[in-house]
Chain A
Amino acid sequence: MYYLYYFLIQIKLPMKKIIFIAIAMCSIILISCKKETAQQPDELAGLTLLQKMANDTTEIEVYTRSGTLTVGYNDIFFRVKNKLNDEFVSNAVLDWMPIMHMTMMSHAAPKSPITKVAGKEFLYKGFIVFQMPGNDMEKWTLSIDVQTPSITTAVLDTFAVANSTQKRVTSFTGSDSKKYILALVSPENPAVATNDLTLGLFVKETSMSYPAVTDATILFDPRMPDMGNHTSPNNVQPIINTTDNLYHGKVSLSMTGYWKLNFIVKNASDVVLKGEEISPSVESSSLYLELEF
């Protein structure tokens, strides 16, 4: 042990070498730290103007994140301008109605009420689930009733709704003979991660009314049909959230590519309305939605 002490003392030797080692050590051990600076939220941050709709008194700016509307679930944002004084309105009461004008008939679409976006001064928000795209012959119109302290009016315009490359919404007839609509709300931008899964389930009361179904059970099973139909781990089955009337769960996507989300929907008395369990002989449920990224 005595010798050890001497030995260690003797090592203090060439200063240059020690500096050399120290510098080399530091360069190996140092790794750059990333810092992220949070941006001040702006009234329209992340939104793209889709269209302006107006009448004599009121102009409504319609925004979505992508600047388009597609078949399936769409978050839609509004700003309401009083054309008489050219100011945005912060306390309007808005109601809306999307209508598809088909050649033989018309129908509406599942939708939420329009509410003020929390933390924003002039921004309003709602969602619509478009079951089908528009075309030259068959168009979607959106009418918005506006009520402000000074004005009560309605604004109407047609909107282009593009088809979606993946199946983000599906209509089905349940075992109870009712017509239902199942829509994928999120993941909107799926990632190789545990994604929030949000689903909307609506029932057709009349062709103009599609209220949310809040007492169903939705079971899902994500599969990759291009790769032996494997599933993914640690998925969380969605359950209803009564504030937004949507079903919330988690979907794990272990790689990019095409995923099929297979569903079984049951009613409040646990009767299967639609869908089959995946097994070696059943590759896909008759009720499914798609993700591809």
Chain B
Amino acid sequence: MKNKILFLLILSVISGNIMAQDTTNIDSILSVKLDEVAIISKPLINYTKQNKPLSSIDEYLDKSMNVSLVRRGSYAWEPMLNNMSSERLQLTIDVMHIFGACTDKMDPITSYVDVSNLSDVKVSSGQEGASYGPTIGGAIDLIKKKHDYCHIGWLGSVNFGYESNSNLFTAATRVKYSNAKFFVDADFIFRDADNYKAGKRTLIPFSQFQKYNTSLSIGVKINNKNTLTGSFTFDNAVNIGYPALPMDVALARAYIASVQHSASYINSFIDEWTTRVYFNTITHIMDDTKRPIVPIHMDMPGWSTTSGLYSKINGAHKRQKMALTLNAYWNKSKAEMTMYPNDTSRKSMFMYTWPDVHTIYAGVNLANNFSWKPMHTIKYGASIGFHRNFVASEFGLNSMHIFYPTMSAGKNRIIVGFQTAYTFAKNNWEYSIAMAYGERAPSISEAYGFYLFNSFDAYDYIGNPYLKNEKSIELHTALAYKMKKIKWNFGLNYFHILDYIIGIPNTNYIAMTLNANGVKEYQALESVNIVSTECGMEYRPHPSVKTRVALSYNFGRDFNKQNMPLVRPFSFKAGLTYNIKGLEMEMNVEGASKQYAHSAFYGEKAKPAYAIVNFAAGYSIPIKAHQLHFRVGIENMADTYYSTYADWNNIPRKGRNFYLNISYTFDNRMME
């Protein structure tokens, strides 16, 4: 182990020394710049910059090489970063903590907002994301639309989208009025999809969904320094099919509300102080009534409610930049399972699968950025937090006592982390190296889950309240070169994770779910190593032509040299864009090698290699304050039948798909 770290250190130092550099801080240790990856809509759904307007957040994120998405159907894909899924990440909406209410991860929080609400997605790798809360793999923050008080007037837009495969119909609209003191901004989006067809015209039943999302923001500029913003989002999805799972979802609903106060230019040290109080509540109701063969009918509703506070102070002084963040929240998560015997005279079978677990977290993070010379920047930071879980349901606690007779209702933890990074930038070169340590508490399922069936390996999972904090030692290095015509970058993230939480079969227990392979109990693996590398290149032979290639190689093994599941195999993306007089055309190829290191040990089935080709063309017609934009495209042109490593139970992805988008924007705003 030590040797490996040393080797990587030497490698990074050597590569750093060979190359030289220039300007700009790397704001994120991420080697890929976000604006090329996953920026969403500015000012609205930004059809000019996006290959495919009105595509879901999932599809946007999926364009990135860093973020991958675990797909269980057409809807609500689960983001992964550095080959780690949601329990090892901080997923936030505008830095607000929201927790899905599904015990089977059918509702990652990215499913409770839509592109119409957002302006950007910030991806922070590893401890770079620590200011969002304790994390191992990093943080993904969905940033809602921001408002300045510089524009006066009206902005409005209407968007329609249609996709041939799955008959997906999307409509979105937005109205905004703003002046120097006030704004009001409302948006609405609706999506309706039938079952999609995988390649070779294979119909995938139970892949339909329907949702709408609406949000309203109102802001007031109290004076030159202070603003107050209230924001409310309502998201409602019904009849969502999950073809990779044995159950669907009848309803997934979120109410998300926040009030934010911002003060700017407080004094010479403090540039900005933002404080937000928030509340959100999620209802998730699973549904097996539409499936043809159900051995036993069951209801599985879940609820998650979070109240929280976020406060961040940004300061700067001479060559120093500083950020102090306070994060506090109180979450209540509860999920039930009621099974109805075929003999209706018998009583129903009930249990808590999440026994009304309350989680209280309060933590601070301090990050400092110091450039002693323009080309050298050093960054360091630390965080400490208090984490408490508490089983509020006596019924639930009694049922946990079946497995852990002496466990107490409450459990306190202290979670710490620190990070340090150095960036050297000169001429066209930029090099960075970072080391960090982070911890996380187990998730609700990992600590308190009660017979949660996982269709990936077909085991019933039992939570373990005695788990230690998971710990991670990480090392990042990145190198980038930027010229007018050519850009390239290389990045390596290495994680050595101790007490890695994973389900281990416990043969003393017998599965409850019909046909399950057995029971797994969450346990700590001694250690796991995860490496993700990627490399990107962009070349513009002519101002109107752009080519891009990105490659990614990943590796994940535990201390016994067993492959870890859900690790991205060697994969690539390449694109060619041609731009002329409002017309834009784009051709993409993406694919992956065979999953040579799949984890049979952890129940994973290997995926074969694949490659698909996409094409898109867009045209804009501006007429004074109005703008009309058309976009057409074909995805998976060859109608390839394929699934990627992140497709749950090898569920195949969409086959050939034609799409059409029409957007109309009205903007008569004047700069103040």
Are B402 and A28 in contact, with the CB atoms below 8 A? no
Are B401 and A193 in contact, with the CB atoms below 8 A? yes
B273 at the interface (CB under 8 A from A): yes
Residues of the A chain whose Cβ atoms lie less than 8 Å from the Cβ of B317: 3, 6-7
Are B403 and A28 in contact, with the CB atoms below 8 A? no
B11 at the interface (CB under 8 A from A): no
Are A21 and B351 in contact, with the CB atoms below 8 A? no
CB distance from B514 to the nearest CB of A (A): 4
Given contacts A7-B324, A256-B347, contact A28 B329 (CB under 8 A): yes
A29 at the interface (CB under 8 A from B): yes
Are B347 and A20 in contact, with the CB atoms below 8 A? no
Residues of the B chain whose Cβ atoms lie less than 8 Å from the Cβ of A234: 402-403, 405
Residues of the B chain whose Cβ atoms lie less than 8 Å from the Cβ of A233: 402-403, 508-510, 519
Q: In residues 68-84 of chain A, which contact B (Cβ within 8 Å)?
A: none
Are A227 and B347 in contact, with the CB atoms below 8 A? no
Q: In residues 437-478 of chain B, which contact A (Cβ within 8 Å)?
A: 450-451
Residue among A3, A6, A253, A292 with the most chain B CB within 10 A? A3
CB distance from A115 to the nearest CB of B (A): 31
CB distance from B82 to the nearest CB of A (A): 29
Q: In residues 20-43 of chain A, which contact B (Cβ within 8 Å)?
A: 20-21, 24-25, 27-29, 31
Interchain CA distance A288-B343 in the complex, whole Å: 19
CB distance from B366 to the nearest CB of A (A): 8
Complex partner residue of B346 from A20, A27, A228, A258, CB under 8 angstroms? A258
Interchain CA distance A224-B148 in the complex, whole Å: 62
Report the stretch among A10-18, A118-126, A129-137, A168-176 that lies at the interface.
Answer: A10-18
Interchain CA distance A53-B351 in the complex, whole Å: 44
Interchain CA distance A113-B260 in the complex, whole Å: 73
B320 at the interface (CB under 8 A from A): yes
Residue among A224, A231, A234 with the most chain B CB within 10 A? A234
Interchain CA distance A226-B512 in the complex, whole Å: 11
Are B308 and A17 in contact, with the CB atoms below 8 A? no
Interchain CA distance A71-B273 in the complex, whole Å: 72
Are B313 and A254 in contact, with the CB atoms below 8 A? no
Interchain CA distance A28-B273 in the complex, whole Å: 21
A147 at the interface (CB under 8 A from B): no
Are B322 and A227 in contact, with the CB atoms below 8 A? no
CB distance from B526 to the nearest CB of A (A): 25
- Interface code B391-404, partner A: CB below 8 Å = 1, 0 otherwise? 00001001101110
Given contacts A4-B368, A7-B317, A29-B328, contact A230 B402 (CB under 8 A): no
A194 at the interface (CB under 8 A from B): yes
Are B270 and A11 in contact, with the CB atoms below 8 A? yes
Interchain CA distance A31-B341 in the complex, whole Å: 38
Complex partner residue of B349 from A25, A226, A232, CB under 8 angstroms? A226
CB distance from B665 to the nearest CB of A (A): 38
B19 at the interface (CB under 8 A from A): no
Given contacts A228-B295, A234-B402, A257-B341, contact A24 B309 (CB under 8 A): yes
Are B390 and A31 in contact, with the CB atoms below 8 A? yes
Do most interface residues of chain A lie in helix, strand or loop, or is the interface mixed? mixed
Interchain CA distance A148-B320 in the complex, whole Å: 94
Are A192 and B399 in contact, with the CB atoms below 8 A? yes
A255 at the interface (CB under 8 A from B): yes
A117 at the interface (CB under 8 A from B): no
CB distance from A260 to the nearest CB of B (A): 11
B55 at the interface (CB under 8 A from A): no
B267 at the interface (CB under 8 A from A): yes
Are A227 and B339 in contact, with the CB atoms below 8 A? yes
Interchain CA distance A292-B366 in the complex, whole Å: 56
Interchain CA distance A47-B24 in the complex, whole Å: 80
Are B320 and A13 in contact, with the CB atoms below 8 A? no
B553 at the interface (CB under 8 A from A): no
Instruction: Determine the residue in chain B with the shortest Cβ distance to A13.
Output: B266
A262 at the interface (CB under 8 A from B): no
Interchain CA distance A162-B359 in the complex, whole Å: 48
Instruction: Determine the residue in chain A with the shortest Cβ distance to B352.
Output: A192
Are A230 and B270 in contact, with the CB atoms below 8 A? no
CB distance from B655 to the nearest CB of A (A): 37
Residue among A7, A27, A253 with the most chain B CB within 10 A? A7
Q: In residues 249-306 of chain B, which contact A (Cβ within 8 Å)?
A: 261, 263, 266-267, 269-270, 273, 275, 277, 295-296
Instruction: Determine the residue in chain B with the shortest Cβ distance to A17.
Output: B275
A191 at the interface (CB under 8 A from B): yes
Residues of the B chain whose Cβ atoms lie less than 8 Å from the Cβ of A255: 337, 339, 349-351, 399, 512
Are B309 and A28 in contact, with the CB atoms below 8 A? yes
Are A10 and B267 in contact, with the CB atoms below 8 A? yes
CB distance from B78 to the nearest CB of A (A): 27
Interchain CA distance A169-B442 in the complex, whole Å: 45
Are B362 and A25 in contact, with the CB atoms below 8 A? yes
Given contacts A6-B269, A28-B330, contact A192 B508 (CB under 8 A): no
Besides the contacts A192-B398, A230-B510, what 5 more A-B pairs have beta carbons closer than 8 Å? A3-B320, A13-B266, A193-B399, A227-B349, A227-B514
- Which residues from chain B sit less than 8 Å from chain A, CB to CB? 261, 263, 266-267, 269-270, 273, 275, 277, 295-296, 307-309, 311, 313, 315, 317-318, 320, 322, 324, 326, 328-330, 337, 339, 341-343, 346-352, 358, 360, 362, 366, 368, 370, 390, 395, 398-399, 401-403, 405, 450-451, 508-515, 519
- Which residues from chain A sit less than 8 Å from chain B, CB to CB? 3-4, 6-8, 10-11, 13-14, 17, 20-21, 24-25, 27-29, 31, 191-194, 224, 226-228, 230-234, 252-258, 292-293
Cross-chain pairs A/B with CB under 8 angstroms, 19 sampled = A4-B366, A7-B270, A7-B317, A10-B315, A14-B263, A21-B275, A24-B328, A192-B395, A192-B398, A194-B402, A226-B343, A227-B339, A233-B519, A234-B403, A252-B402, A254-B402, A254-B450, A254-B512, A257-B347
